Amino acid sequence: MSDAGKTEILAILKAMDAPDGKGDVVTRRLVSDIFIADGKAFFSITVPASEAERFEPFCREAERRVKGIAGISSAMVALTAEKTAGAPPATAPSAPARRPPPAASGAAPQQQRPAAQKPGVPGIKQIIAVASGKGGVGKSTTAVNLALALQALGLKVGILDADIYGPSIPRLLALRDKPRSAGGRTIVPLDAYGLKAMSMGLLVDEDTPMIWRGPMVMSALTQMLREVEWGELDLLVVDMPPGTGDAQLTMAQQVPLAGAVIVSTPQDLALIDARKGLAMFRKVDVPVLGIVENMSYFVAPDTGKRYDIFGHGGAKAEAEKLGVPFLGEVPLEMAIRETSDAGKPIVVGEPDGPHARVYLDMAARVLAQLSDGAAAPRAPSIVFE
């Protein structure tokens, strides 16, 4: 029903009077490509930033009407801001403050800056990103086990899967149910081992490709962050997509991130990309909490002999070179892979084992970094832009 559904949606939008009185949004080409999967419709409407508040009720009414189409059970309409030629993006960060030279190894952790210009998320005290410069380094597995380890240390923790194109959190946490809506306006996150979890992978089929351009990705991320009933959390862990693109900039520029954890493997090629990711967070004034060396070494289960398959110690040397904390080495271990594939991460699957201890030690170091930094800004009321 995909093409027919799109035609019906366009007909509905064309019949609606735009709040600025300048004609319908379809004729004015303000509507993005429409994506329909599993009975859910997603699209965005691009308007000038100054008109966003006026168009918010229009979007909610569009959602209500689209849900009335046979075969469509829900709709998500996102507002994206139009940029005028030559103007800076609406979300451009303020110029970063002059930064002192990198500290020597073993120096005190970076002091965190309050991000008062970025609206917080009510109920969430601090937000951290887990990022990597490239894919395939085990970032999502690290993010999930780190979140569970932080929870084991006594924190109330949630996890947001910000990888729109390749969401991994549903598989890693064995989540199969669809989130339910609360009053048609917000989404209730799912619960996994005590974590509150949200992912685009929970809204569409696992095999459904997300063929979206940047504005749709940014809008979806903003809505999954701000229109989800997270409740009271000490910490929200955001599993970032690999690289330094739209999703990373959206999170870094629009959310008061307390810090970022960079995941890399030991070899030079991965470290080059990890360095780029670290530099991006520094440029947008997000403190780097430290670097994790994943797949650091392999111990043969039959002989006990250790093999440095991807080299060893590269991430630690890079952390010392750049003056950021080194958070720990995670081995290339079959048990970590097996528990991840089974949807029961090692921290909850084998909580007293040596590999869970690696993540618990890492979580303790991250928590120490956060405790040494400035207090998170108080979350003001949200204004949708």
SS (H, E, C) the chain: CHHHHHHHHHHHHHHCCCCCCCCCCCCCCCECCCEEECCEEEEEEEEEHHHHHHHHHHHHHHHHHHCCCCCCCEEEEEEEEECCCCCCCCCCCCCCCCCCCCCCCCCCCCCCCCCCCCCCCCCEEEEEEEECCCCCCCHHHHHHHHHHHHHHCCCCEEEEECCCCCCCHHHHCCCCCCCEEECCCEEECEEECCEEEEEHHHCCCCCCCCCCCHHHHHHHHHHHHHCECCCCEEEEEEECCCCCCHHHHHHHHHCCEEEEEEEECCCHHHHHHHHHHHHHHHHCCCCEEEEEECCCCEECCCCCCEECECECCHHHHHHHHHCCCEEEECCCCHHHHHHHHCCCCHHHHCCCCHHHHHHHHHHHHHHHHHHHCCCCCCCCCCCCC
Instruction: Record the tokens describing residue 68, joined without a space.
Output: 């009335």
161: enclosing H helix or E strand: strand 157-161
Residues in the chain: 385
The whole-angstrom separation of Cα 294 and Cα 263 is: 7
Residue 209 confidence (pLDDT): 64
**Where does residue 163 fall: left (phi above 0), alpha (psi -120 to 50 degrees), or beta otherwise?**
beta
pTM over 0.85: no
The neighbouring-strand residues paired with 180 are: 188
Residue 92 confidence (pLDDT): 32
- Bridge-based pairing of strands 157-161 and 124-131 is unpaired
The whole-angstrom separation of Cα 48 and Cα 80 is: 8
141: exposed, middle or buried (Cβ count in 10 Å: 0-12, 13-18, 19+)? buried
Residue 377 confidence (pLDDT): 33
> What's the DSSP call for residue 359?
H
What are the per-10-residue average pLDDT scores of the chain (385 residues)?
79 93 91 76 79 85 90 78 38 34 39 54 91 80 94 93 84 88 80 92 72 70 85 93 70 81 76 72 83 84 81 77 86 86 91 90 89 43 31
Set out the domains of the chain in order of their start, with CATH numbers.
2-82 (3.30.300.130), 124-372 (3.40.50.300)
Residue 270 confidence (pLDDT): 59
